[in-house]
């Protein structure tokens, strides 16, 4: 039995949150001569014109680690088929995946990483590696692949760390969530109060507040619609009642006071601002407070131009004061 001269080891840490609020986190350790994991993502064969041909990287540590993570997600989501997996992918809300290997990923492992990130655009992935040159401490952003193999190990645009390791970051776009605390008091009637969280871009059937056809639901719109449902159910004394929107709007004229506070992970979109304006019109005697991070206040048409904050370390704040 031959013993490999060099083993490329990889360590992958992950912390991933799903739209239902559950999360998973752990560490995966792999070596380039472990038994191959034949799973969701396949690498690339050596291209024509190289000395070696076929799939030379089935046992590579980076490919193995990514596939073990994919299998872990597959199991957590309860999938039994690839079609179910594709559908369930949208329930991955946010997370960070950090992988460090002795050598940078080869062309085949880079393809696996690219495919994984295409499936999970909400995740941020950091790929670190050493690529040590010779027996000293010198490292290189890329080193040539082994004899007969294609390309190089590593990313040409990786950034050097202070310790001379290398790092490539793929920034994901998490699905934003909005948490609402509400207390809506009817004059001489019941109090509807509670807390709920809504996540953007998830399937949802609107009751009263909706976005234009063809738009993904934003978190603020869904959150406000769910508050309206809760108020309706409190007033009608049964869950998910069949009250029409017209009847609902007549009854909520009896709301005498209340506070609704939205804590948003990003500033409201144009759709979210439209829903907020409609909610304020429907509940004129309720104070509505919207807060969101300062980092989200300026880009992409998010937030309110007239929002305020006490300092750069606190969230932006937009207040719709109740009518007197």
138-143: list long-range contacts, CB under 8 Å, 24+ apart: 138/164, 139/164, 139/165, 139/166, 141/104, 141/166, 142/104, 143/103, 143/104
Q: What is the pLDDT of residue 253?
A: 92
CA atoms within 13 A on the CB side of 240: 2
Three-state SS sequence of the chain: CCCCCCCCEEEEEEEEEECCCCEEEEEEEEECCCCCCCCCCCCCCECCCCCCCECCCCCCHHHHHHHHHHHHHHHHCCCCCHHHHHHHHHHEEEEEEEEEECCCCCHHHHHHHHHHHHHCCCEEEEEEECCECCCCCCECCCEECCCCCCCEECCCCCEECCCCCEEEEECCCCCCEEEEEEEEEECCCCEEEEEEEEECCCCCCCCCCCCCCCCCCCHHHHHHHHHHHHHHHHHHCCCCCCCCHHHHHHHHHHEEEEEEEEEECCCCCHHHHHHHHHHHHHCCCCEEEEEECHHHCCCCCCCCCCCECCCCCCCEEEEECCCC
Instruction: Quote the tokens at residue 12.
Output: 């992958």
Instruction: Band the pLDDT of 237: cuts 50, 70, 90.
Output: low
pLDDT at res. 43? 87
Rounded to whole angstroms, the Cα distance separating 92 from 47 reads 34
Separation CA 226–CA 201 (nearest Å): 15
pLDDT, residue 2, reads 40
CA pair distance 245, 282, nearest whole angstrom? 11
What pLDDT is stored for residue 4 in this prediction? 44
**Residue 1 CB contacts under 8 Å (≥ 6 apart), including other chains:** none
Contact call for residues 12 and 98 (beta carbons, < 8 A) = yes
Whether the predicted pLDDT of 42 surpasses 60: yes
CA distance 177 to 21: 10
CA-to-CA separations, 28 to 77, 221, 226, 246, in angstroms, rounded: 19, 38, 39, 55
In the prediction, which pLDDT does 1 show? 35
Q: What are the pLDDT digits (tens) for 156-173?
A: 999 999 999 999 999 999
Phi, psi of 282, rounded to the nearest 5 degrees? -75, -30
Cβ within 8 Å of residue 81, ≥6 positions away: none
Give me the pLDDT at residue 83, please.
83
Question: How much is the pLDDT for 242?
Answer: 75
Q: Can you give the pLDDT at residue 258?
A: 97
pLDDT tens, position by position, 263-309:
999 999 999 999 999 999 999 999 999 999 976 655 558 999 899 99
pTM of the model: 0.85
Q: Which letter, b or e, does each residue of 4-24 get, where b requires 16 or more Cβ atoms within 10 Å of its Cβ?
A: eeeebbbbbebebbbbeeeee
């Amino acid at each position: 039995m031959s013993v490999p001269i060099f083993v490329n080891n990889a360590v992958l840490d992950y912390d991933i949150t799903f739209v239902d609020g559950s999360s998973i986190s752990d560490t995966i350790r792999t070596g380039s001569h472990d038994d191959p994991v034949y799973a969701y993502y396949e690498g690339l064969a050596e291209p024509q014109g190289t000395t070696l041909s076929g799939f030379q990287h089935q046992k590579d540590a980076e490919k193995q680690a990514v596939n073990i993570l994919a299998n872990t997600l597959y199991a957590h989501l309860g999938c039994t088929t690839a079609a179910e997996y594709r559908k369930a992918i949208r329930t991955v809300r946010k997370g960070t995946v950090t992988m460090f290997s002795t050598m940078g990923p080869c062309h085949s492992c880079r393809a696996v990483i690219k495919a994984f990130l295409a499936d999970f655009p909400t995740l941020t992935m950091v790929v670190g590696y050493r690529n040590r040159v010779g027996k000293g401490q010198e490292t290189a952003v890329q080193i040539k692949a082994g004899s007969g193999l294609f390309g190089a190990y590593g990313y040409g645009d990786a950034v050097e760390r202070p310790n001379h390791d290398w790092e490539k970051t793929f920034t994901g776009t998490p699905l934003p969530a909005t948490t609402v605390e509400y207390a809506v008091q009817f004059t001489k009637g019941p109090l509807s109060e509670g807390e709920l969280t809504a996540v953007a871009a998830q399937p949802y059937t609107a009751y009263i507040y909706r976005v234009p056809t063809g738009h993904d639901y934003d978190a603020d719109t869904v959150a406000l619609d769910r508050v309206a449902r809760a108020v309706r159910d409190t007033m009608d004394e049964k869950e998910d009642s069949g009250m029409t929107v017209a009847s609902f709007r007549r009854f909520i004229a009896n709301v005498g006071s209340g506070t609704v506070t939205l804590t948003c992970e990003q500033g409201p979109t144009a759709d979210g601002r439209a829903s907020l304006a409609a909610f304020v019109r429907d509940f004129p005697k309720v104070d509505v407070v919207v807060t969101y991070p300062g980092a989200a206040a300026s880009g992409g048409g998010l937030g309110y131009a007239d929002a305020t904050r006490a300092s750069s370390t606190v969230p932006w704040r937009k207040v719709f004061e109740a009518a007197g």
